[in-house]
Amino acid sequence: MLNIDHALETVRDRIARAGGDPERVKIVAVTKAFGRDAIDAARAAGLFDIGENYAQDVVAKRDALVGLHLHFIGRLQKNKVRLIAPLVACWQSVDRVALGEEIARRAPGARVLVQVNVSSEPSKGGCPPENAPDLVKQLGALGLDVAGLMTVGRTGPPSEARPGFAVLRALADRLGLVERSMGMSDDLEIAVAEGATIVRVGSALFGARPPNTAAGN
């Protein structure tokens, strides 16, 4: 069986060196493009938070996910919400009110994060920062549990993600939101230094993803 104990130790070490409390920064193990063996390996290593990007993968892996907390982190079409609603513990990629309405309909009171595009890169999901306050309000009015904000750092050298992470942090503070999901395998130190409460880590735990996988965000 795939063993990620050593890789996890390395990730925890990186978090600690960046000034994060490894007990308080939650690691979401991103298993997109990997088989259920990655999910099993995460569980065996004591990681109970799993991230997936595609609705059809969530459905296909549903047996492996029993008892784990699934974070949906990919772009999501409204018509896929119904399929995965019973399986998702946290919807991290909510970027528009219409999506929130469908989630509220299929999973009343669900925990959500608002995805914000802090780099203005068109390839990235998320609402513009200036729209986040209204969206947070609207989602709350739908009865959703808006726990925080999520972002994907700017593509390129990790240091270039820093200003965007700072924007996310400031925005979350201003809105009184606790969770800041930011940082992936390559830029998690920067994210932790900028106050990430959740990092989403794939390749640093499981190795390089199989080729011809869309980035998902």
**Can you give the binding site for ligand PLP, defined by CB under 6 A?**
30, 32, 53, 73, 152, 184-186, 200-204, 216-217
User: Which of the 8 DSSP states describes residue 18?
Assistant: T
Nearer to ligand PLP, 57 or 102 (CB): 57
199/14 Cα distance (integer angstroms): 12
Which H helix or E strand runs over 36?
A: helix 36-44
Nearer to ligand PLP, 176 or 210 (CB): 210
CB of 135 to ligand PLP, least distance (A): 18
97/131 Cα distance (integer angstroms): 11
CB of 73 to ligand PLP, least distance (A): 4
For residue 87, give both structure tokens. 């399986």
Shortest-Cβ-distance residue relative to ligand PLP:
202
171/181 Cα distance (integer angstroms): 13
CB of 150 to ligand PLP, least distance (A): 8
CB of 108 to ligand PLP, least distance (A): 25
Nearer to ligand PLP, 110 or 217 (CB): 217
CB of 105 to ligand PLP, least distance (A): 24
Nearer to ligand PLP, 18 or 142 (CB): 18
CB of 33 to ligand PLP, least distance (A): 8
Nearer to ligand PLP, 61 or 200 (CB): 200
Collect contacts of 19-26 with beta carbons under 8 A, ≥24 apart. Answer: 19/192, 19/193, 20/192, 20/193, 20/196, 24/197, 25/192, 25/196, 25/197, 25/198, 25/199, 26/197, 26/198, 26/199
Q: Are 51 and 33 in contact (CB under 8 A)?
A: no
Residue with tokens 């640093």: 204
Nearer to ligand PLP, 45 or 204 (CB): 204
